[in-house]
């Protein structure tokens, strides 16, 4: 329940006659963070919104975060890499900007007084700062799938208790958010998450067995970071999105389906009981869903290219192949078991993708490592419910150990 002594984040944003936000960007140097600041600059130049930056954080990209700080003038800048704290402080000396370094500084950034927080730190590292922003009642624009995958119940409880809200940034979840009737969820028969199919959509398992990291990150439609690009290539991103959607929307996970749509024009669909299917369409540019979240419940202009239907001409669809892309099956099994299993799925995938990108694991070894980890979790009687963030982090750590053993077994 929302706090009795304060309006909720949704109420505060909906009361504004003009889009006015004090913004924190967690992960400002990644692709989502860069796109967010690009949109802020665009909207501000057009006088379409009143946007100020409270805090920026990055992992260790010192040069870019300093450049961003000098342009956007945040009150606080933090790097996760504590060894770079001195260089960050020196680079921003005399700018009137507070600085910090290390994990505690990232948490401090999330705790600062911004009413809208972009949660774009990749992987499980984004869990604690996102939870901190949620606990103080901010509107959290969620670009980190892993937060809900690893600790969906914990994060959702924190949002409700503080009167905050989650605004989904992933293009698929944002598409559903825009056409989902939250007042009558019982009138929705299914959700359809679309997928581009990634760079290996037409490849055989034999071809994928010798795929290189460079080939895996060469996404045909989207410009994304290396890890999420590999997830697209394995289709694990759809599995993680399935789990995330089950937390974001009051629709049972067994009524969430996936459909390969190579053109990436329809970003997802909602089917209603009367047979109507509502879809959100747009060009494959993350600035569109970011703009939707930034201005919600209003709209602001975006520099994204507008959709030209005559140029698109044809939209095609196909069912995903569970034989070539077993990640989808693994994710369905994990969400059905619940508890620690989604967190362990995610952790194992993170380990496997990192090993693949470092040329220490073959591409088909990624789902192998994830499946071996989940099978080991069964043998160890992994819990089917999680009551706290600490328990989620324990599951994450345990899965990483199991995944590393599976990587070694694969290499043997």
pLDDT at 16: 65
Longest C-alpha distance within the chain, in Å?
63
Q: What is the pLDDT of residue 228?
A: 85
| pLDDT, position 122 | 83
- Give the model's pLDDT for residue 4: 54
Q: Is the Cβ–Cβ distance between 279 and 264 less than 8 Å?
A: no
What pLDDT score was predicted for residue 49?
85
Pick the CATH number of 9-169 from 3.40.50.720, 3.40.50.12500, 2.70.150.10, 3.40.50.850: 3.40.50.720
Crossing angle for the helix pair 236-248 and 226-234, nearest 10 degrees?
A: 100
Whole-number CA gyration radius for the chain: 21
Q: What is the pLDDT of residue 2?
A: 43
Q: Where are the domains of the chain?
A: 9-169
pLDDT of residue 5: 62
0.75 surpassed by pTM: yes
Mean pLDDT by groups of 10 residues along the chain of 412 residues: 61 70 96 96 91 97 98 98 97 98 97 96 87 95 90 92 94 97 97 94 96 90 79 94 95 96 95 98 94 94 93 94 95 95 95 97 97 96 86 94 97 84
Q: What kind and span of H or E run contains 41?
A: helix 31-45
* Strand 76-79 to 188-195 pairing: unpaired
Strand partners, 139: 116, 165
In whole angstroms, give the CA distance from residue 108 to residue 340: 28
Torsion angle (degrees, nearest 10) of CA 51, 56, 61, 67 = 50
Q: Are 58 and 79 in contact (CB under 8 A)?
A: yes
């Amino acid at each position: 329940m929302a706090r009795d002594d304060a309006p909720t984040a949704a109420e505060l944003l909906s009361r504004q006659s003009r889009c006015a936000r004090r913004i924190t960007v967690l992960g400002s140097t990644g692709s989502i963070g860069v796109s967010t600041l690009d949109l802020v600059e665009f909207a501000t130049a057009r006088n379409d919104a009143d946007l100020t930056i409270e805090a920026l954080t990055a992992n260790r990209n010192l040069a870019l975060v300093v450049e961003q700080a000098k342009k956007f003038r945040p009150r606080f800048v933090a790097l996760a890499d504590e060894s770079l704290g001195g260089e960050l402080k020196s680079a921003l000396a005399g700018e009137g900007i507070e600085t910090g370094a290390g994990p505690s500084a990232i948490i401090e950034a999330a705790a600062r007084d911004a009413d809208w927080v972009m949660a774009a730190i990749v992987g499980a590292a984004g869990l604690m700062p996102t939870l901190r922003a949620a606990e103080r009642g901010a509107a959290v624009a969620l670009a980190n799938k892993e937060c809900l995958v690893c600790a969906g119940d914990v994060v959702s409880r924190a949002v409700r208790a503080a009167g905050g809200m989650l605004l989904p940034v992933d293009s698929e979840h944002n598409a559903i958010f825009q056409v989902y009737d939250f007042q009558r969820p019982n009138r929705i028969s299914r959700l359809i998450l679309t997928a581009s199919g990634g760079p290996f959509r037409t490849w055989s398992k034999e071809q994928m067995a010798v795929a290189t990291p460079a080939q895996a990150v060469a996404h045909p439609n989207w410009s994304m970071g290396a890890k999420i690009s590999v997830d697209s290539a394995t289709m694990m991103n759809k599995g993680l999105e399935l789990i995330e959607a089950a937390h974001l929307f009051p629709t049972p996970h067994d009524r969430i389906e996936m459909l390969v749509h190579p053109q990436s024009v329809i970003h997802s669909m909602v089917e209603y009981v009367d047979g109507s299917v509502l879809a959100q369409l747009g060009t494959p540019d993350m600035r569109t869903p970011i703009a939707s979240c930034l201005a919600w419940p209003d709209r602001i202009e975006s520099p994204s290219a507008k959709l030209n239907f005559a140029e698109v001409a044809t939209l095609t669809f196909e069912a995903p192949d569970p034989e070539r892309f077993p990640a989808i099956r693994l994710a369905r099994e994990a969400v059905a078991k619940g508890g620690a299993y989604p967190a362990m799925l995610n952790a194992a995938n993170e380990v496997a993708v990192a090993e693949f990108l470092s040329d220490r694991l073959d591409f088909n070894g990624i789902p192998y490592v994830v499946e071996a980890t989940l099978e080991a979790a069964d043998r160890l009687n992994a819990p089917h419910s999680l009551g706290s963030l600490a328990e989620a982090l324990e599951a994450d750590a345990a899965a990483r150990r199991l995944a590393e053993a599976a990587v070694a077994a694969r290499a043997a």
